């Protein structure tokens, strides 16, 4: 059909690997969201931690689905995909979901820190008492900030698209080799600024929680029994440190993406893409194993699936 290209072996391999990663990631996040929804319907209540996890699971599920569709179409139908206003809409949706994922993850780290860490400062005590009321506003702020970024992304790419068509004559397709000119500097700046704030929130939360854990451990050295507060500290630290590591690698991949964006069929670009697709899945899997309810349900689901396979 018109606009379709013959996929090379490199393209086929990329589609297969990315599709497998996407399927696994969407299944993990769909599992997390569905378990939380079922629990919500059963007990008719929802705590702040579950609200954040549910929002994060839904956001990552949509993000991976949209990103996979964009990648698949860009390989099979590259020219038809870039007909106005498809690139603007896809970029805006991806920006919204990506930043929602980023900021909600940061909110989860801040929530763990405030909920679990023990400090006697009056402001910290105030936040600990009000955190359940603050969480909905944090989620709303994350959505609004992501919406602003997505609108700016749409406008910037639309302006670059218009200028590119004017410079290349009257055409119907967006030139894929468009250079990163001054149009994209505001978007890069806002992207870096938003990522830096979220990263600072994660690192600050990890440091506070680590300091609280160290203080609590020094007080409990003479106590040989199992301490629930210590377990909560350790589980929260695993979640926050895992996200901090994942986010650090993701930031490096973002920088490399900007460097190699104009180079087609580059193995480095494909490797970056593989890492970026793995992050939402790996972090969500860590969150599942950090939550007793989700971990128990996952193990029961996998064991039931294994039994059905064996019976066949």
- Rounded CA-CA distance 269/277 in Å is 12
216 within a domain of the structure (yes/no): yes
- Rounded CA-CA distance 39/45 in Å is 8
206 within a domain of the structure (yes/no): yes
User: 34: which residues sit within 8 A by CB, 6+ positions away?
Assistant: none
CB 27 within 8 A of CB 286: no
CA–CA–CA angle 44, 46, 48 (5° rounding): 170
pLDDT at 312: 58
Give how many domains the chain has, as a whole number: 1
Per residue in 62-99, pLDDT (tens digit) is 999 988 888 887 777 777 666 777 778 888 898 899 88
The string of DSSP codes covering the chain is: -TT--PPPHHHHHHHHHHHHHHHHHHHHHHHHHHHHHHHHHHHS---HHHHHHHHHHHHHHHHHHHHHHHHHHHHHSHHHHTBTTHHHHHHHHHHHHHHHHHHHHHHHHHHHHHHH-----HHHHHHHHHHHHHHHHHHHHHHHHHHHHHHHHHHHHHHHHHHHHHHH-S-SB--TT----GGGHHHHHHHHHHHHHHHHHHHHHHHHHHHHHHHHHHHTTT--S--HHHHHHHHHHHHHHHHHHHHHHHHHHHHHHHHHTT-TT-HHHHHHHHHHHHHHHHHHHHHHHHSHHHHHHHHHHHHHHHHHHHH-
69 within a domain of the structure (yes/no): no
261 within a domain of the structure (yes/no): yes
74 within a domain of the structure (yes/no): no
How confident is the model over 53-63, as a mean pLDDT?
92
Q: Residues of the chain with pLDDT > 70: what percent?
A: 73
- Rounded CA-CA distance 146/140 in Å is 10
Angle between helix axes 267-290 and 292-311 (nearest 10 degrees) is 110
Per residue in 125-151, pLDDT (tens digit) is 888 888 889 999 999 999 998 998 888
Per residue in 176-231, pLDDT (tens digit) is 444 444 556 677 777 777 778 888 888 888 888 888 877 767 766 555 545 556 66
Structure tokens at 33: 């969201």
pLDDT at 82: 66
179 — phi, psi (to 5°)?
A: -85, 155
Q: Which domain holds residue 189?
A: 85-164+183-221+230-311
Structure tokens at 140: 């709303």
- Rounded CA-CA distance 241/66 in Å is 28
CB 234 within 8 A of CB 213: yes
- Rounded CA-CA distance 189/152 in Å is 12
251 within a domain of the structure (yes/no): yes
pLDDT at 303: 78
Per residue in 106-131, pLDDT (tens digit) is 888 888 888 888 788 888 888 888 88
277 within a domain of the structure (yes/no): yes
157 within a domain of the structure (yes/no): yes
- Rounded CA-CA distance 224/207 in Å is 26
């Amino acid at each position: 059909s018109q606009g379709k290209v013959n996929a090379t072996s490199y393209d086929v391999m990329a589609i297969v690997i990315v599709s497998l990663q996407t399927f696994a990631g969407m299944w993990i996040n769909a599992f997390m969201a569905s378990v939380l929804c079922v629990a919500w319907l059963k007990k008719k209540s929802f705590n702040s931690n579950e609200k954040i996890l549910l929002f994060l699971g839904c956001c990552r599920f949509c993000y991976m689905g949209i990103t996979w569709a964009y990648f698949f179409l860009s390989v099979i139908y590259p020219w038809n995909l870039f007909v106005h206003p498809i690139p603007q809409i896809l970029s805006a949706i991806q920006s919204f979901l990506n930043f929602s994922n980023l900021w909600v993850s940061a909110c989860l780290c801040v929530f763990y820190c405030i909920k679990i860490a023990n400090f006697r400062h009056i402001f910290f005590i105030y936040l600990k008492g009000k955190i359940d009321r603050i969480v909905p506003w944090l989620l709303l702020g994350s959505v609004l900030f992501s919406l602003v970024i997505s609108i700016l992304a749409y406008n910037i790419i639309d302006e670059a698209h218009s200028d590119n068509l004017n410079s290349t004559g009257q055409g119907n397709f967006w030139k894929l080799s468009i250079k990163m000119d001054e149009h994209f500097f505001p978007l890069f700046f806002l992207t870096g600024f938003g990522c830096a704030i979220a990263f600072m929130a994660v690192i600050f939360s990890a440091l506070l929680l680590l300091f609280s854990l160290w203080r609590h451990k020094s007080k409990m050295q003479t106590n040989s029994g199992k301490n629930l507060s210590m377990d909560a500290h350790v589980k929260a630290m695993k979640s926050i440190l895992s996200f901090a590591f994942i986010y650090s690698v993701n930031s490096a991949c973002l920088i490399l993406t900007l460097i190699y964006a104009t180079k087609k069929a580059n193995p480095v670009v494909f490797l970056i893409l593989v890492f970026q697709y793995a992050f939402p899945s790996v972090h969500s899997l860590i969150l599942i194993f950090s939550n007793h309810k989700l971990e128990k349900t996952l193990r029961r689901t996998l064991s039931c699936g294994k039994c059905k396979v064996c019976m066949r």
